[in-house]
Each structure stands twice: as C-alpha cells, then as structure tokens.
Amino acid sequence: MKPAWRQASFWAWLALACLPVDLLAWWRGWALVDPAYLGLSLLWWPLDVLGRLMALALLLGPPASQGAWRRLGAALSAEVRLGLWLACGLLAGLIPAIFLLSVKGFQQPAWLAAELGLGLLGLIPGLLYALRRLLAPVLVLQGAGAADALTGSALRLKGRLKPFLRAYLPWLLAGLVLENLSFVLDLAGLGQALPDPWGGLLTPLATALELIGLARGASTL
C-alpha cells in the first residue's frame, strides 16, 4: 500500500481544508481582517476540520482510517473545548501582568521589562495545557469522545511529552516556515518572493508536514 503522502486522496482532503477560502479571498481581494473573509472562514471551519481529520486518518492507517468521517462531530467539539480552555488559561495567566501594567504603566523601562516578563511567564501554563492535548485528534480517530480525547491526551503524554515533541516539533516548525514563507523571505531581506495566490498554495503542503509530525509523535507513545 502506498504511503499516505503518495495518495491523491490525501492531498485532495488537504486541498479541501486549506484552499477554497484563501483562493476566494485572493480572487475577491479580501484582507485577513475583512468581515467577509472571517465569516466565510468560520462557515468553512467544519470542512477544514474534516479535511485535516481525514488526512490524519490516512497517515495513521487502519483502523483509524476506517469510517473516520464519522468522528467529525467529536473532532469539532474537541477543537472548541481546547480553544475555549486555552483562551481562558492564557487570559488568566496575563492577569498579574495586566494588574502591574495598570499600577505602574509602561513609561519606565524597568517596569516595562518586568511587565513583559510577567506576561510571558503567565502564558506558560496555558501553552503547556495545549501541548499536553496535541494528541486529541489521534484519540478521536481511535473512537474517543471530545472530553475523553482531551483528558486521554494529557494522560498519554504524562512523562512522555519530551519524546513526543522531539518527533513532532521539527515537522511543525517546517510546516510553519513553509506556510509563512513569504513573510520569512521578507524578514530575511530577500523580498516578497511568493505573491498571492502562490504563497497560499503552499498551505496544504505545510499542513501535511504538521500532520506527519503529529503521526510520528503519536508513534513514539
């Protein structure tokens, strides 16, 4: 059997997830903050999740790939739960920095540095919460419900987070660089080498790298 990345269906699912909204935005000239773009992205989100879920299922192979589309509801619920808890955690972590900012302001460099440092430290618990739940899509494909997938991910990664991240992070970082290649080239002083829509066409490949990393990380557990 061909590896998932050599199957046309794998790339078709990723194209469904990544391309339609961005191509329409490029055609209509919408910016990322345009209400039409944001609204369409929200409406397309279930299909985005479906495409990524099916592509991940192909990477994991049987039995995860059998009837994977039936797990869409659990995958959507898991993403919403994770997003809400992550937002709450990040906001709660920023409260000390916001309080210090309200008392001392940001005019003095020493206090500004303290506020920034306190803010960065406050983000750590929320980010760790998210990292420990990266395995949730894999568990959803194995039949877990949304809540059980999030809880199970934290349990599976307890004491195993480092080997998981060693397998996952290089692929994730490669995907992020590829997805933002035009920005990276511009930052390096090499110019905007990938004008729209060609930069957006790299998104399925970037997503593929991120999903391959997730599958490889899951294989270490």
Taking phi over 0 as left and psi of -120 to 50 as alpha, with beta for the rest, 105 belongs to left
Instruction: Report d(CA 148, CA 216) in Å as an integer.
Output: 22
Please state the pTM of the whole predicted model: 0.86
Q: Are the C-beta atoms of 17 and 48 separated by less than 8 Å?
A: yes
Q: Is a pLDDT exceeding 70 seen at residue 196?
A: no
Average pLDDT of span 190-204: 62
Q: For the chain, count helices (H), then strands (E).
A: 9, 0
The reported pLDDT for the residue numbered 197 is 57
Instruction: Report d(CA 82, CA 78) in Å as an integer.
Output: 6
- For residue range 50-78, list pLDDT tens digits in order: 999 999 999 998 877 778 889 999 999 99
CA angle 89, 53, 7 (to 5 degrees): 145
**Backbone torsions φ then ψ of 72, nearest 5 degrees:** -60, -45
Instruction: Report d(CA 111, CA 106) in Å as an integer.
Output: 7
Q: pLDDT class for 2, splitting at 50, 70, 90? A: low
Q: Are the C-beta atoms of 78 and 149 separated by less than 8 Å?
A: yes
- Amino acid letter at 191? G
pLDDT: is 183 or 217 the higher one?
217
- Amino acid letter at 55? A
The reported pLDDT for the residue numbered 115 is 84
Q: Is a pLDDT exceeding 80 seen at residue 191?
A: no
Q: pLDDT class for 22, splitting at 50, 70, 90? A: confident
Under 8 Å CB-to-CB from 101, ≥6 apart: which residues? 115
Nearest CA among 78, 54, 77 for reference residue 66:
54
Of 10-19, 61-70, 127-136, the poorest mean pLDDT is in: 61-70
Report the mean per-residue pLDDT for the chain.
Answer: 86
Percent residues over pLDDT 90 in the chain: 54
